[in-house]
């Protein structure tokens, strides 16, 4: 026992000595701190390592753990740069797409300013679905040339949607009407996809005088050129004065070849030569212009049938698209045009032009209801990029608002 106490006393004394030594060393270090702080980096570099205190001999040093899986800093930095670059490119692409969508949206809104129903003029914050409201809406739909039958269907569906509701908030009413109109148009939203197996893809463009066929061809050529397709034009309108020159001008603008013959030449012969040329030059799309003709003139419609037969002899599957161009300003007369052309040469798609210059843009509803033919393009202005693929959602939004802003 005495041996244990003797050892305990000696250990306590050693602890006290270690404490005193540590205290005095700290005091000396603090007194000389000014000198060390003002010394050069050489003094700091050559300073001997601090000796451990007595108690520190009994403590374990923590050895820093190495991480062999972590790549070197330069590799990490390179990977980080690649990720940042990729994200930046994706962000830029998203930004560009959003800008493009907004640009197209504004084109629709501006083009349909005259046709627009401007429902925010009479939709109140809380709206009662009564006869007075339905009559106002009916009048505006008919004035927009939506058609009597289609208008009656729309009014009935809207009335049935709120049959047991006394008051409807304006936004709900707007969304319901928007949904009804969308359902009537969505089937016509089918882009003209070019089948690479059927090259050259032959698009026969037809229509009456003055609807803008040749201009529409020039804009379609620009649209597909921007998508990387090779284009050729066939100047099949050999009757109208300066028609060939006009198409050649579009060829120069778009830097694409035009096949033509002299004025008064046989249209079918011109288009035949163009097809052979397109095949030998591996052209993706051949756009064939035709002379404007009244749908009531049987002999002119017979000539279109002849052109179609000639095309089919070269390629039984062609023409791959028969595109009827209609001026939106003709209103309900467009129904008669579509009926005659469709019965003669089986129209497969529509291009509705000059929407920006008419208050009768609602004719699309009647065309779809009666014929269920896709609306391939709509003309929203005079510029090259103002011919756009038909977008049912944007069309309905522009039709309802009639301006670029909605107040709710």
Question: Is residue 149 assigned to a domain?
Answer: no
Question: Is residue 373 assigned to a domain?
Answer: yes
The pLDDT tens digits for 329-369 are: 888 889 999 999 999 999 999 999 999 888 888 999 999 99
Q: What is the pLDDT of residue 61?
A: 53
Q: What is the pLDDT of residue 300?
A: 80
Between 393 and 108, name the one with better pLDDT: 393
Q: How far apart are CA 366 and CA 368, in angstroms?
A: 5
Q: What is the pLDDT of residue 375?
A: 96
pTM above 0.75, yes or no: no
Q: Structure tokens of 231?
A: 């284009």
Confidence of residue 115 (pLDDT cuts 50, 70, 90): confident
Weakest-pLDDT range from 85-89, 99-103, 213-217, 257-261:
85-89
Mean model confidence pLDDT for the chain: 80
Work out how many domains the chain is built from and give that number: 1
Q: What's the mean pLDDT in 193-212?
A: 91
Return the ∠ at Cα 357 (arms to 351 and 360), rounded to 5°: 70
> Residue 324: is its pLDDT beyond 70?
yes
Q: What is the pLDDT of residue 111?
A: 82
Contact between residue 271 and residue 216 where contact means Cβ atoms under 8 Å apart: no
Question: Is residue 303 assigned to a domain?
Answer: yes
Confidence of residue 271 (pLDDT cuts 50, 70, 90): very high
Q: What is the pLDDT of residue 322?
A: 97
> Residue 6: is its pLDDT beyond 70?
no
Question: Is residue 258 assigned to a domain?
Answer: yes
In 3D space, the residue among 354, 325, 301, 312 whose CA is nearest the CA of residue 217 turns out to be: 325
Confidence of residue 379 (pLDDT cuts 50, 70, 90): very high
Contact between residue 93 and residue 382 where contact means Cβ atoms under 8 Å apart: no
> Residue 83: is its pLDDT beyond 60?
yes
Q: What's the mean pLDDT in 122-146?
A: 81
Q: Each residue of 314-348: b (16+ CB within 10 Å) or e?
A: eeeebbbbbbbbbbbbbbeebbebbebbbebbebb
Structural domain boundaries enclosing 274: 196-401
Measure the N-to-C terminal CA separation of the chain; round to a whole number of Å: 95
The pLDDT tens digits for 276-316 are: 999 999 999 999 999 888 766 777 888 899 999 999 999 99
Q: What's the mean pLDDT in 68-87?
A: 61
Question: Is residue 45 assigned to a domain?
Answer: no
Check which CATH number belongs to the domain holding 376 and give it: 3.40.50.300
Q: How far apart are CA 110 and CA 116, in angstroms?
A: 10
Question: Is residue 78 assigned to a domain?
Answer: no
Contact between residue 368 and residue 334 where contact means Cβ atoms under 8 Å apart: no
The pLDDT tens digits for 39-71 are: 444 444 444 555 555 445 445 555 555 555 555
Distances (CA, A) of 294 to 182, 244, 300, 307: 32, 20, 8, 16
pLDDT winner (highest mean) among 13-27, 42-56, 250-264: 250-264
């Amino acid at each position: 026992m005495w041996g244990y106490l003797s050892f305990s006393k000696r250990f306590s004394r050693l602890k006290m000595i270690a404490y005193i030594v540590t205290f005095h060393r700290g005091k000396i270090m603090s007194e000389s701190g000014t000198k060390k702080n003002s010394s050069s980096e050489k003094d700091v570099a050559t300073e001997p390592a601090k000796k451990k205190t007595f108690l520190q001999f009994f403590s374990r040093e923590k050895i820093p753990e190495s991480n062999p899986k972590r790549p070197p800093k330069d590799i990490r930095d390179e990977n980080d740069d690649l990720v940042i670059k990729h994200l930046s490119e994706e962000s830029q692409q998203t930004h560009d797409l959003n800008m493009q969508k907004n640009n197209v949206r504004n084109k629709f809104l501006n083009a349909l300013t005259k046709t627009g129903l401007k429902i925010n003029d009479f939709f109140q914050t809380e709206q009662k679905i009564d006869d007075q409201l339905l009559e106002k809406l009916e009048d505006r739909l008919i004035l927009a040339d939506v058609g009597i039958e289609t208008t009656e269907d729309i009014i009935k569906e809207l009335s049935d949607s709120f049959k047991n509701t006394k008051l409807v908030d304006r936004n709900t009413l707007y969304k319901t009407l928007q949904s009804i109109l969308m359902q009537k148009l969505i089937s016509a939203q089918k882009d003209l996809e070019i089948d690479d197996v059927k090259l050259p893809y032959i698009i026969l463009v037809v229509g009456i005088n003055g609807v803008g066929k040749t201009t529409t061809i020039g804009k379609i050529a620009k649209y597909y050129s921007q998508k990387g397709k090779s284009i050729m034009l066939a100047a099949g309108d050999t009757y109208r004065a300066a028609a060939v020159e006009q198409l050649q001008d579009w060829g120069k603008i778009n830097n694409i070849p035009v096949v033509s013959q002299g004025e008064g030449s046989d249209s079918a012969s011109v288009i035949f030569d163009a097809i052979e040329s397109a095949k030998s030059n591996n052209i993706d799309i051949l756009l064939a212009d035709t002379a404007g003709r009244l749908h009531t003139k049987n002999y002119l419609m017979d000539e279109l049938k002849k052109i179609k037969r000639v095309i089919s002899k070269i390629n039984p599957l062609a023409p791959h698209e028969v595109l009827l161009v209609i001026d939106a300003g003709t209103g309900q007369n467009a129904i008669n045009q579509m009926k005659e052309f469709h019965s003669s040469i089986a129209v497969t798609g529509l291009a509705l032009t000059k929407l920006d210059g008419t208050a009768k843009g609602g004719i699309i509803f009647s065309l779809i209801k009666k014929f269920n033919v896709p609306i391939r393009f709509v003309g929203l202005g005079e510029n090259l990029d103002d011919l756009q693929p038909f977008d049912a959602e944007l069309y309905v939004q522009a039709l309802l608002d009639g301006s670029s802003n909605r107040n709710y």
